[in-house]
Amino acid sequence: MLPEHAPFTTDQRLALDSLIAGLNPVQRGWLSGFLAASGSVAAVSAPVSAGKLTVLYGTESGNSEVLADRAVKAAKKRGFQANMKNMSEFSPADLAKSPSLLVIVSTWGDGEPPETAISFYKEFMSADVSLAKVSYSVCGLGDTAYEKFCQVGKDFDARLEGLGASRVFARQDCDVDYEDSFTTWLEGSLTALAPASAAPVAEVAVAGYSSSAVEYGKKNPFPSEVLESVLLNGEGSSKETLHLEFSLASSGLSYEPGDALAVVPVNAPDTIKAVLGAAKLTGNEEVELKGGEIKLLADALREDFDITALSRAVLTKLADACDSAALRELLADEAKERLKEFNHGREIIDALLEFAPNGLSAAALVGIFRKLPPRLYSIASSQLAHPDEVHLTVAAVRYETHGRKRKGVCSTFLADLIKSGDAVSLFVQPNKNFRLPADPATPIIMVGPGTGVAPFRAFVEHRAASGASGKNWLFFGDQHYTYDFLYQLEWQEQLKEGVLTKLDVAFSRDQPEKVYVQDRMIQQAEELYQWLEAGAHFYVCGDANRMASDVHEALVTVVQTQAGLTHEAAEAYVENLKKTKRYQRDVY
CB 229 within 8 A of CB 244: yes
Task: Give how far Cα 310 sits from Cα of 144, 145, 148, 351, Å.
Answer: 9, 6, 13, 8
Which of helix, strand or coil describes residue 219? coil
Task: In whole angstroms, give the CA distance from residue 340 to residue 354.
Answer: 16
79: left (phi over 0), alpha (psi -120 to 50) or beta: left
Closest residue by Cα to residue 198 from 70, 101, 77? 77
Task: Give how far Cα 68 sits from Cα of 124, 139, 174, Å.
Answer: 20, 10, 14
- Same domain for 167 and 297? no
Give 172-215 as a DSSP string.
Answer: EEE-SS-HHHHHHHHHHHHHHHS-TT--PPPPPP-TT----S--
Domain assignment present for residue 281? The answer is yes
CATH code, domain carrying 411: 2.40.30.10
Domain of 330 in residue numbering reads as: 269-371
- Same domain for 155 and 169? yes
CATH code, domain carrying 111: 3.40.50.360
Domain assignment present for residue 206? The answer is no
Task: In whole angstroms, give the CA distance from residue 287 to residue 275.
Answer: 15
- Same domain for 378 and 489? no
Backbone angles phi, psi at 501, to 5 degrees: -75, -45
Task: In whole angstroms, give the CA distance from residue 130 to residue 117.
Answer: 21
Task: In whole angstroms, give the CA distance from residue 536 to residue 442.
Answer: 6
Q: Which of 174, 193, 212 is a domain's end point?
A: 193
Domain assignment present for residue 115? The answer is yes
- Bridging pattern class, strands 135-141 and 172-174: parallel
- Same domain for 563 and 493? yes
Q: For residue 341, count other CB atoms closer than 10 A to its CB.
A: 12
Strand partners, 424: 224
Q: How far is CA 381 from the centre of its chain?
A: 18
- Same domain for 83 and 173? yes
Which of helix, strand or coil describes residue 147? coil
Task: In whole angstroms, give the CA distance from residue 304 to residue 375.
Answer: 14
Domain assignment present for residue 498? The answer is yes
pLDDT value of residue 137: 97
Domain assignment present for residue 3? The answer is no
Domain assignment present for residue 210? The answer is no
- Same domain for 87 and 122? yes
CB 513 within 8 A of CB 265: no
E strands along 197-240, which residues? Answer: 222-231
Q: Which of 353, 371, 389 is a domain's end point?
A: 371
Task: Give how far Cα 374 sits from Cα of 265, 347, 396, Å.
Answer: 7, 18, 16
Give 421-486 as a DSSP string.
Answer: T-EEEEEEE--TTS---SSTTS-EEEE--GGGGHHHHHHHHHHHHHT--S-EEEEEEES-HHHH-T
Q: For residue 81, count other CB atoms closer than 10 A to its CB.
A: 13
Q: For residue 480, count other CB atoms closer than 10 A to its CB.
A: 17
CB 229 within 8 A of CB 203: no
At a CB cut-off of 8 Å and minimum separation 6, what does 178 contact? 63, 67, 141
pLDDT value of residue 468: 97
Compute mean pLDDT per 10 residues along the chain, 588 residues long, and list them: 55 61 49 45 46 93 91 93 93 92 92 90 93 96 88 96 96 91 95 73 45 78 97 96 97 97 98 98 96 95 97 95 94 91 96 97 97 96 97 98 97 97 97 96 98 98 97 98 97 97 97 96 98 98 93 98 98 96 94
User: Helix H segments across 103-143?
Assistant: 118-125
- Same domain for 104 and 176? yes
Task: In whole angstroms, give the CA distance from residue 415 to residue 426.
Answer: 16
Domain assignment present for residue 538? The answer is yes
Task: In whole angstroms, give the CA distance from residue 88 to residue 103.
Answer: 13
CB 345 within 8 A of CB 411: no
Q: Which of 145, 173, 193 is a domain's end point?
A: 193
pLDDT value of residue 46: 40
CB 371 within 8 A of CB 177: yes
- Same domain for 474 and 567? yes
Query: What is the greatest pairwise CA distance in the chain?
Result: 89
- Same domain for 360 and 378? no
pLDDT value of residue 4: 54
Closest residue by Cα to residue 537 from 415, 466, 453, 440? 440
Domain assignment present for residue 147? The answer is yes
pLDDT value of residue 223: 97
At a CB cut-off of 8 Å and minimum separation 6, what does 310 contact? 145, 343, 346, 347, 348, 350, 351
Q: How many domains is the chain built from?
A: 4
- Same domain for 340 and 459? no
- Same domain for 519 and 397? no
Task: In whole angstroms, give the CA distance from residue 41 to residue 44.
Answer: 9
User: Helix H segments across 91-178?
Assistant: 92-95, 118-125, 151-162
What is the C-alpha R_g of the chain? 27
- Same domain for 70 and 176? yes
